Each structure stands twice: as C-alpha cells, then as structure tokens.
Amino acid sequence: MDIRVFHKKDGGIIQLIDKEKMQDWPIELPLIFVEYIRSKKLDSYKDPQIKKEIEEYLNDITKDIAIPRLMSVLEGENEEEIILALIRIEELSNKNIEMIIPIKPYLENLINKKNKDIVSIAKNISNNFLKAERRKKLAQKRRVMREKEKEFLAGKINAKEYAKARKDYLTLKE
C-alpha cells in the first residue's frame, strides 16, 4: 500500500504516504517530509488522538527510514553521492532552513572531511543555520525595541532605559 490512512472521529480521513514508499525518495526528502508535517500540518488536525497517531508515525519514519538513509550516505565513502545530497540540502537551506533542522547535527562530521567540495557545501549549510539564528534573535530584539519605544513615548520608562535598549538592539544589528 502506498498510503497510510488515519481515521478521524468525525468520519474524515488524513492520508500520508506510506513509509515503505519513501525508500525510493532521495535521502533528504523523508526528513523534510517529517519536518513539514510537524511544522505546517500537525497543528491543523484538531483531534488530539489523530495528532498523537501521526506524531508516532512521523517518529517511526524518522527512526526507521530518514535517519538511517541519511547517515548511510553522509557517513559513506561515495563522495559524489554525499556532494549531490549536500547540494540538494543546501538549496533547501537557502529557501527554508526550518525544513532541514534534523540534518544540523551531522554537519560537523562533514566539515572535517578531506574533500574540499564537501567541506565547502557543509560550511555553507552551517552558515545558513547561523544566519537564520541571527535573524531570529534580531526579530526578537526588534519586538523588544518596539515595546520599549512605545513605553518611552507613553512616558512609562525614562530616556536612560530607552537608550540602553536601543544600544542592545543596535549592537546585535551590526
């Protein structure tokens, strides 16, 4: 069977691809699929029992298919296969870094490889993670700064506190 069906209490169904069918996918796609369902779809399923069943299924996919396949390639000896996988992963990291979060722990080993192409691509992916983290911190500081600005304009905080918050924000921005 190519599809895994989850039955909802209201009579509806949720269909996800069967994990055996994922064996034919490129190595990074099962992890991306799992991350996509977790981050974009899981919260839209209102039934807690369905959420639990789907979460267990996603954990099975990760444990049985995604991680072993990824590890077999990334820790393997075929450098061409590693480079091709990393190129696809790098493209995804440029588009949506959240989709490749499960791959992050494996980058350190790749950065220590002897092949310059592998090291270069792994460093690019790692840098994309750093940039994304910096963007998150900056967005959080920006929110704090907006709050401080509102408080300052409303007279709730003094100029010294506002200046300190502004300095913290500008230091991170640079």
CA trace torsion 101, 106, 107, 112 (10° rounding): 170
Over residues 57-84, the mean pLDDT reads 85
Phi-psi region of 4 (alpha: psi -120 to 50; beta: other; left: phi over 0): beta
What is the share, in percent, of the chain residues with pLDDT greater than 90? 11
Report the pLDDT value the prediction gives residue 126, as an integer from 0 to 100: 92
The answer, yes or no, to whether residue 92 has pLDDT greater than 70, is yes
Report the pLDDT value the prediction gives residue 1, as an integer from 0 to 100: 60
Q: With bands split at pLDDT 50, 70 and 90, how would you rate the model's confidence at 174?
A: low
* C-alpha distances out from residue 139 to 100, 109, 135, Å: 21, 31, 6
Q: Say which residue, 48 or 102, is predicted with more confidence.
A: 48
